[in-house]
């Protein structure tokens, strides 16, 4: 009897260890699935995507929502043009960010595209020129797109200032980035007014082009907020400066994610509760993605 009890006890211990191992493997698989499902977002952010905004709706227009706070210690000259505002970084020869509000009426403009790239007369310091991009292998990629400035001739001309331009791989500029710009106009028509802020993400030691050593971004971001709707919305996108062949929603992230990546403070003029909501959450369905 003693020998049988010891043998049975040993078998029970072995079975218990195997069960525990299977449970651990199952938990690892579930966590891995959830993290993969989120893309760049955390599990907490996935769970928050369906949360509803419970604060007060905006009833009055708020000025300068398109203006962001540039990261401390980074070169920044704030320049205001008719159709957009930007923070110019003379170290990069690029904008830190370019922001503008786009209304439904502004998407129906009929001003013809300018196509005349010119230096920005308001930039202090080194002036980037059209020739800096010639034979570089990169497109002159708009941050505030010309198609969003068709409502006014001056706004159209100023959209071709080189301060609003970044070196972009052609496949991105003519591909998914262009598709996102088109979506932005659709969202502006639907929501009456949206706020758009976009710009480059530049590595510590970037490749440069042209005599004026224009930095080549590694990624681009676009922050979009619709703060005036009954259910406010916010979403952002980060795309590598290359041919992006995945669906648009695969590049979607929270606005908070872009702030963490860039050190830029977006939408700080919103009431705190509303700012926190639109920056921490995004719902792909509400953006028709």
pLDDT of residue 23: 56
Are residues 159 and 32 part of one domain? no
Mean local confidence (pLDDT), 94-108? 97
In a domain, 44, yes or no: no
pLDDT of residue 41: 44
User: Average pLDDT of the chain?
Assistant: 88
Are residues 82 and 22 part of one domain? no
pTM score, whole prediction:
0.82
| pLDDT higher than threshold 70 for residue 97 | yes
| pLDDT higher than threshold 60 for residue 46 | no
The answer to whether 201 touches 217, Cβ cutoff 8 Å, is yes
Strands 214-215 and 252-253: unpaired
| pLDDT higher than threshold 50 for residue 37 | no
Mean local confidence (pLDDT), 222-246? 97
By 3-state DSSP, what share of the chain in percent is helix, strand and coil, each rounded to 5?
35, 20, 40
How many percent of the chain have pLDDT more than 90? 78
Collect all residues with Cβ–Cβ distance below 8 Å to 256 and sequence separation of at least 6: 279, 280
pLDDT of residue 48: 42
Task: Specify the 3-state DSSP secondary structure of 171.
Answer: helix
Over the stretch 231-240, which tens digit does the pLDDT of each residue have? Answer: 999 999 999 9
Angle at 261 between CA 81 and CA 61, to 5 degrees: 40
Mean local confidence (pLDDT), 40-59? 61
On the CB side of 37, CA atoms within 13 Å amount to 12
Both tokens of 280, joined, read 């921490």
| pLDDT higher than threshold 90 for residue 40 | no
| pLDDT higher than threshold 80 for residue 130 | yes
Q: Where in the sequence numbering do the catalytic residues fall?
A: 142
Q: What is the DSSP letter of 245?
A: -
In a domain, 77, yes or no: yes
The better pLDDT of the pair 136, 46 is held by 136
In a domain, 48, yes or no: no
In a domain, 269, yes or no: yes
pLDDT of residue 123: 98
Where in the sequence is the domain holding 12, given as residue range(s)? 1-38
In a domain, 20, yes or no: yes
Are residues 226 and 155 part of one domain? yes
């Amino acid at each position: 009897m003693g020998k049988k009890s010891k043998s049975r006890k040993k078998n029970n211990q072995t079975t218990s260890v195997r069960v525990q191992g299977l449970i651990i493997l199952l938990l690892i698989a579930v966590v891995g699935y959830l993290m993969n499902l989120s893309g760049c977002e955390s599990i907490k952010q996935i769970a928050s995507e369906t949360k509803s905004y419970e604060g007060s709706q905006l009833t009055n227009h708020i000025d300068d929502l398109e203006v962001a706070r540039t990261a401390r210690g980074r070169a920044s000259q704030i320049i205001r043009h008719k159709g957009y505002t930007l923070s110019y970084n003379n170290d990069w020869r690029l904008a830190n960010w370019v922001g503008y509000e786009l209304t439904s009426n502004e998407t129906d403009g009929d001003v013809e595209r300018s196509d005349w790239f010119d230096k920005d007369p308001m930039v202090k310091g080194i002036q980037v020129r059209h020739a800096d991009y010639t034979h570089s292998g990169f497109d002159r990629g708009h941050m505030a797109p010309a198609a969003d400035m068709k409502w006014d001739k001056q706004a159209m001309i100023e959209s071709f200032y080189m301060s609003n331009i970044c070196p972009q791989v052609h496949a991105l500029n003519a591909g998914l980035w262009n598709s996102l710009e088109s979506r932005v106009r659709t969202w502006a028509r639907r929501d009456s007014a949206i706020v758009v802020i976009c710009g480059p993400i530049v590595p510590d030691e970037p490749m440069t082009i042209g005599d004026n050593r224009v930095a080549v971004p590694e990624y681009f971001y676009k922050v979009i907020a619709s703060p005036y709707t009954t259910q406010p919305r916010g979403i952002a996108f980060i795309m590598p400066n290359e041919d992006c062949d995945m669906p648009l929603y695969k590049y979607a992230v929270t606005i908070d994610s872009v702030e963490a990546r860039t050190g830029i403070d977006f939408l700080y003029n919103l009431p705190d509760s509303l700012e926190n909501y639109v920056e921490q959450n995004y719902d792909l369905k509400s953006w028709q993605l």
